[in-house]
Structure 1
Amino acid sequence: MNKAIFSAAALALSLSASAIASPVNVGGVVWDPDSFFDFTSNSNLVEDLLDAGADGVFGTADDVVDTLSGFGLVTGLNGTNQSTFCPSGCELTFEFGGFEIASVIPDGGGARLGFTGGWINFYVDSSTAYSALDKSTAVDGGTPWLSLQAHETFSGIHGIMTSIDATLSSYGAGTDAGLGGGLLDVVGGAAMGNFDTDTQTDGADWVFSTSFQPIPSGATPDGLELFGTADFRGSSIPEPSSIAILGLGLLGLAGASRRRQK
């Protein structure tokens, strides 16, 4: 490699490396794609009860449903707290729904549940303080920051395609408690370009896990009876400008090569 080409290559690598290491800011949410933890987030949530009615049939008792829905607040991102990843004072909240029970396998006092379908929308909000007692405080951010749909994969336990597989240690009569998890695909939102990577299991973009149990004092004003946590992980990429910088460096390399050959 001649000196001109070597210099151009070094410049391109230097520019691209510095760009990739730069924090990303999308709608006020700031994170570093180069972080050791990238991309991981932790959250608190509240959600609806999924018990069958007294006769064992879903939807026959008051306020009992067979489709999971709820909302929550992101409390940690890449190992940092809210004041760090939302330095302007914003909140990153989310709403989810459409996860429908497709299979129930009794297991002692608990059960194994398989869900199909589902979606999650994340919002950035700087105007209203989040409250777990009021769903509207989680969805008042307007256009979603990130929209995801469930990524269904074959479940050997249930013998069908599922979006969530959940194991409940306690199930029925308002005592749902357990763990679950699944995959998600990015489909829209301001941060879509940073997360549409297809790098997780089965080509999904994100992996999530959740835990849940009854709220001791009963249902919230929104009629939700369970509380818990949700963790999301995936891979993020730099802002498009980083890629553009790398492209300019490579163009310079090509130009140097052509001039040397004349």
Structure 2
Amino acid sequence: MKKILIASLVAGISLSSQALATVTMASGVTLEPKLVGDLDKAQGNFNNNFSFIQWWDDSRTTSEYDSLNTFNPLDAANWSLNGIGKMDITGDLGTLNCSACEITFEFGGLGVNFIFNEDLLENLGFTSAVADYGLDLNDPDFESDFIAAFNLDRGTSYTSFNDITEDFYSTPANVPEILISDVSGESFLNVYVDHTPDAGSFLDYTINDGVISSAEMATVVDANDLWLTLDFNEGNYSPEGDEFFGLAQGDTDFSFTVTGGPAEDNFKKGVIRETSLDLIDFSDLIGLSLGASFLNGTDADLFATGTAGTITGVAVPEPSSIAALGAGLLMLFGASRRKK
């Protein structure tokens, strides 16, 4: 029974002990951890705010930044979402910290798709029309069949299912979802620790010329400063309004899997998720409420504004220090047995 007890103590040390001691990580990053909370509610031992800027890129153009003003849902497969950002370093409990440095990141390879809006099923006018037309929502030809039946019934000439539902039922038929590539590395997030800080406000980068220059990008992204690489694991996008097909503004929540970098072993793997936000797979890190808006009156800006969020997970010291502490417990247990 005593051996089992000691084994349990050693196995649990990577979580429980870090609620009490400073966690020292790669590249001089430290953490004064919080108590680990409910990991099903993304309550790890750190929770860090960050700011970022993001943009859309249409692969069919030579420009790296494309406006939603030219977006067509039929061409959605050609568009990807990308961005850069910076962690807030405040020294507060439960936040990542380092002396005279900045922690920056880049992400990319996120796509967009459109799916049926479940809110339509709450609209009695729409559901009555479906029943009257004798249509099956699960039929792959449902949308085209509904358009044909609606036009015949109303004497109209609509060609878009979305236009019908917005004009007559005040609800968009299809809503966007952010796509994560199934191929490792295609949807990515890289984190950098730079001990010669030079990244300013990302919004300032675009004030004069509306682009981010290679020199400005270099202040954020330097391969020599790479600290952590991650793959996107799960994600949920909640649009605010239906401007520009619902892509103009909204909140996104993501989970991540750590894949490499000097700090790879500083993060507890597969322990955290956010079930209330339908992030149900156990992951390594969770990015919460990444809010952003491209909306500028009746137009869309190239770059999103109001961009901020939080990242949370369970940070641990290097495995060697955990092993040393575990060995110390075993030695202590051995000494206790000898005294008896």
TM-score with structure 2 setting the length: 0.56
The alpha-carbon distance between structure 1 residues 54 and 175, as it changes in their structure 2 partners (threshold 3 A), is closer
- Given candidates 57, 81, 85, the residue that maps to 1:68 is 81
Residue in 2 aligned with 1:97?
108
| C-alpha distance in structure 1 between counterparts of 2:282 and 2:321, whole Å | 24
Deviations 1:54-112 (A, max 9, x none): 6543369xxxx621110001014784599x812x2100000001111133456847944
Seen in structure 2, the aligned counterparts of structure 1 residues 45 and 194 have a Cα distance that, compared at 3 Å, is same
Report the AA paired with residue 116 of structure 1.
I
Instruction: Name the SS for the 2:100 alignment partner.
Output: coil
| Counterpart mapping for 1:182-221 below 5 A | 182-201=254-273, 202-209=281-288, 210-214=290-294
Alpha-carbon displacement from aligned partner over 1:163-200 (angstroms, at most 9, x marks no partner) = 32212124318971111112111111121111142111
**Runs of 5+ consecutive residues of structure 1 not aligned to the other structure:** 2-8, 152-162
- Answering whether residue 222 of structure 2 is matched by residue 136 of structure 1, we say no
Counterpart code for 1:177: Q
Instruction: Find 1:242's aligned residue among 311, 321, 338.
Output: 321
**Residues 1:115 and 2:179 are matched in the alignment:** yes
Any residues of structure 2 matched to 1:1-262 within 5 Å, and which?
21-34=21-34, 38-49=45-56, 51=68, 53=70, 55-58=72-75, 66-76=79-89, 79=92, 85-86=97-98, 88-105=99-116, 108=171, 111-117=175-181, 118-131=187-200, 132=202, 133=205, 134-140=216-222, 142-151=224-233, 163-170=234-241, 171-172=243-244, 176-201=248-273, 202-209=281-288, 210-214=290-294, 224-253=303-332, 255-256=334-335
How far residue 148 of structure 1 moved from its aligned partner, in angstroms, is 0.8
Q: Quick one: distance in 2 between partners of 1:174 and 1:113?
A: 9
Are the equivalent residues in 2 in contact too, given 1:52–1:58 (CA < 8 A)?
Answer: no
Instruction: Give 1 or 2: higher helix fraction.
Output: 2
* Shift in CA distance, 77/39, structure 1 to aligned 2, threshold 3 Å: farther
2:25–2:317 CA contact under 8 A, matched in 1:
no
TM-score normalised over the length of structure 1: 0.71
> Runs of 5+ in structure 2 lacking a partner?
37-43, 57-66, 120-170, 182-186, 206-215, 274-280
Native 8 Å contact 2:248 2:294 kept in 1: yes
Structure 1 residues 102 and 112: CA distance shift in structure 2, 3 A = closer
Cα distance change on mapping 1:20 and 1:144 into 2, 3 Å? farther
Cα gap change, 1:55 to 1:211, in 2 (>3 Å) = closer
